[in-house]
């Protein structure tokens, strides 16, 4: 999604949650400076995604339920939202791309990179301290922002780590995007993230993320959109899994 198309959605989100455009932009600038010498070009993502079948994996209840499906389809590109990386790594499944604003388990995010995952690290006004603490521990990263892109920091669209994964897959023209464990608004996997300080706020963010994906589907995606959830996102086709499902 072009920034000019994304910006009105960002403005609505900013107003709803009281975010500061200035702080978000400052965070993007800080990340840009921090990764100048170790930033990966976005072509790295293009090579992993373009024309490929992609699983976007989140921390919803469907993750545990569909782990065997993921294992049967390891050839698919796995774009993983933040803390879901821990669940996969504990099952010896390597993420291909991890999208994170660094509020997941830090040791598992670092393990994901060591296993070969491309790390897409997101900067916003509330995680500058975490950026300063953790970004130096990664060897190579792709930077992302929800405001105007700057050098080596891109805006692919999306609000939370989960829906940002989908926007990323769409940006680089995945053939198919299959959502696994992306039940926005349902309880997250207890092993995949830290303590949720404000559950009501988290729920509101999940509603916005789901709405953004509905908008993405309505606008007309260049990818085929599928959802393994029993309550698929509007505009995504229900993808039914059984014990033998292999793509």
pTM of the model: 0.94
| Chosen CATH of 3-238 out of 3.40.1130, 3.90.1480, 3.40.50, 3.30.1460 | 3.90.1480
- Average pLDDT of the chain, as a whole number: 93
DSSP reduced 3-state for 120: strand
Chain segment 113-138, per-residue pLDDT in tens? 999 999 999 999 999 999 999 999 99
In tens, the pLDDT along 147-176 reads 999 999 999 999 999 999 999 999 999 999
Rounded CA-CA distance 169/128 in Å is 26
Q: What is the pLDDT of residues 15-47, one digit of tens each?
A: 999 999 999 999 999 999 999 999 999 999 999
Q: Which two tokens stand for residue 9?
A: 């959605």
Across the beta sheet with 97-100, what order do the strands follow?
153-154, 142-145, 118-123, 97-100, 77-81, 53-57, 176-180, 224-227, 237-238
- Give alpha helix (H) positions in the chain: 3-17, 21-34, 43-49, 62-65, 67-72, 84-90, 106-114, 128-134, 161-171, 199-219
pLDDT in tens, 42-93: 999 999 999 999 999 999 999 999 999 999 999 999 999 999 999 999 999 9
């Amino acid at each position: 999604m072009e920034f000019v198309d994304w910006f009105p959605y960002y403005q609505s989100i900013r107003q709803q949650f009281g975010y500061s455009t200035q702080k978000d932009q400052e965070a993007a600038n800080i990340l840009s400076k921090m990764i100048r010498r170790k930033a990966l070009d976005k072509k790295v993502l293009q090579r992993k995604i373009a024309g490929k079948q992609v699983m976007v994996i989140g921390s919803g209840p469907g993750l545990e339920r569909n782990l065997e499906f993921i294992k049967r389809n390891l050839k698919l590109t796995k774009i993983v939202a933040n803390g879901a990386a821990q669940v996969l790594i504990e099952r010896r499944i390597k993420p291909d791309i991890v999208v994170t604003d660094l509020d997941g388990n830090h040791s598992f995010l670092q393990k994901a990179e060591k296993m070969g995952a491309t790390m897409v690290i997101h900067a916003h006004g509330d995680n500058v301290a975490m950026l300063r603490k953790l970004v130096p521990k990664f060897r190579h990263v792709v930077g992302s922002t929800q405001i105007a892109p700057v050098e080596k920091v891109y805006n692919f669209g999306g609000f939370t780590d989960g829906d940002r994964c989908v926007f990323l897959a769409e940006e680089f023209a995945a053939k198919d995007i299959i959502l696994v464990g992306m039940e926005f608004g349902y309880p997250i996997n207890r092993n995949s993230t830290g303590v949720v300080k404000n559950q009501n706020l988290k729920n509101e963010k999940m509603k916005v993320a789901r709405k953004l994906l509905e908008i993405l589907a309505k606008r007309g995606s260049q990818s085929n959109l599928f959802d393994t959830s029993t309550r698929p996102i509007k505009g995504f086709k229900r993808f039914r899994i059984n014990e033998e499902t292999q793509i």
